[in-house]
Structure 1
Amino acid sequence: MDMTNADITKVSGTFEVKLEPHSAYATGVGGMNLGRMTLDKAFIGELEGRSQGEMLSAMTAKKGSAGYVAIEQFVGKLCGKQGSFVLQHFGIMTDGQNRLHLEVIPNSGAGELTGLYGNMAITIENGQHFYEFSFSMAKEEEPM
């Protein structure tokens, strides 16, 4: 769904995250450090609930250059609507400069969040994690 033509709602808040190393399947070579972690988050604000998922990362021998991908499933409330959805992460760091993209996997919304589309921005200030979630709900099609 193209969110440029949809009614977009933006909400923001904070979250706490717990990362736990998990045994990695692959081992890096040539100065690469490959990692695997579990995610456990608690969201506060208009997005209220928990998410769990997994992250794969690669850190290069050059400090400040790395990448990661992750999948997490949120369960809770969004603006009072109960349900769940899945977020996909794609992050790249080049010489300490971050580029991060988080997007709701299409058709992953369930419960009252069925039809959810959106993306999330994350910032970290003084150790506190903040989110801004921009989303829309797919319009139900008219019966023929």
Structure 2
Amino acid sequence: MGEEIRTAEVSGDMRTARGTFEVSLEPAEHDQAGIRRMVITKTWRGDLAGQGAGTMLAAGDPATGKAGYVAVETVDGELDGLRGGFAFQQFGTMTAPDQQLRYEIVPGSGTADLAGITGTLDLEIIDGNTATC
């Protein structure tokens, strides 16, 4: 599906991080009718710098503007000078022309310097490939 560049902001109890990411979605084999499976690869830049990888399950018909997805993505890198990793749980719905996208850090998923991390990331896609938070 190609790459998209988006801006992102991660908010937690104590900090706000800003940056961009490039994402690539590749179809993966899946045997359940009506559900598409995609492999996510992502490069984060900015206050959060590193690599992301995950799996997305989607349903609906994006061509008609009605669809939804869930995904889990692991991120390994550096956040505001702290090295480690964590997982995002993602949720998105589309009812044209509106989209609702939400990322939450999975509780207990933080490693190394990022152990105990919590927070959310909200995206608003603009022009199909740029997002603000």
Aligning the two structures, in what range does the TM-score lie when normalised by the shorter sequence? 0.7 to 0.9
Question: Mind listing any 5+ residue stretches in structure 1 that lack a counterpart?
Answer: 1-5, 29-33, 133-144
Q: Which residue does 2:5 correspond to in 1?
A: none
> Which amino acid letter does the alignment assign opposite residue 72 of structure 2?
I
> Which amino acid letter does the alignment assign opposite residue 97 of structure 2?
G
Q: Which residue does 1:96 correspond to in 2?
A: 97
CA deviation digits over 1:46-72, x for unaligned, max 9? 100000000000024881111100000
> Which amino acid letter does the alignment assign opposite residue 97 of structure 1?
D
Question: Mind listing any 5+ residue stretches in structure 2 that lack a counterpart?
Answer: 1-11
For the aligned residue pairs, the C-alpha RMSD in angstroms reads: 2.0
Distance 1:126 1:38, change over 3 A: same
What TM-score, normalized by structure 2, do the two folds share?
0.83
> Which amino acid letter does the alignment assign opposite residue 36 of structure 1?
R
Distance 1:15 1:130, change over 3 A: farther
Q: Which residue does 2:124 correspond to in 1?
A: 123
Q: Does 1:65 align with 2:66?
A: yes
> Which amino acid letter does the alignment assign opposite residue 63 of structure 1?
T
Q: Which residue does 2:21 correspond to in 1?
A: 15
> Which amino acid letter does the alignment assign opposite residue 107 of structure 2?
P
- In the TM superposition, what is the alpha-carbon distance from 1:21 to its structure 2 partner? 0.4
More strand by share: 2
- Rg (Cα) greater in structure: 1
Aligned-partner SS, 1:117: coil
Distance 1:60 1:19, change over 3 A: closer
Q: Distance in 1 between matches of 2:97 and 2:110?
A: 34
What TM-score, normalized by structure 1, do the two folds share?
0.77
Q: Which residue does 2:108 correspond to in 1?
A: 107
Displaced runs of 4+ in structure 1, greater than 2 A?
Answer: 122-132
> Which amino acid letter does the alignment assign opposite residue 108 of structure 2?
N
In the alignment of these two chains, the number of paired residues is 122
- Percent identical among aligned pairs is 39
